[in-house]
Structure 1
Amino acid sequence: MHQENIVPAEHIAQHEMHTLYNTHHHWLRDWLRAKLGNHFLMHV
C-alpha cells in the first residue's frame, strides 16, 4: 500500500463525527434549545 493512501485515524474520526453531527443535528439542536435555551444556541 502506498503511504498517501493511508487515511489517518483522526481524519476518519472527524468524518464520522461530522456525519453523526449532520445526521442528528436537528434533534440535538432542539434538545439543547429545550435544555439550555435559545441564548446558548447563539454561541454554537
Structure 2
Amino acid sequence: MENYLAELEQLLHQLHHSDKEEAMNFYREYVMDADLVTYEQCISG
C-alpha cells in the first residue's frame, strides 16, 4: 500500500500543495477503508 501511495504522490507533483494533500488524504482513507494492503490490491480493478 505504501508503494502505491508513494507512486501516486509522485504523479500528483504538478498540483498545488494543498490540492495534492487533499487528494492524498482522500486516497489514504480510501485504501484504509477498503482494507487494501498490497500494491497489487490497490491497482486491481
TM-score by length of 2: 0.39
Higher relative contact order (CA 8 A, sep 6+): 2
Higher normalized helix content (fraction of residues): 1
Q: Rg bigger for which structure? A: 1
TM-score by length of 1: 0.40
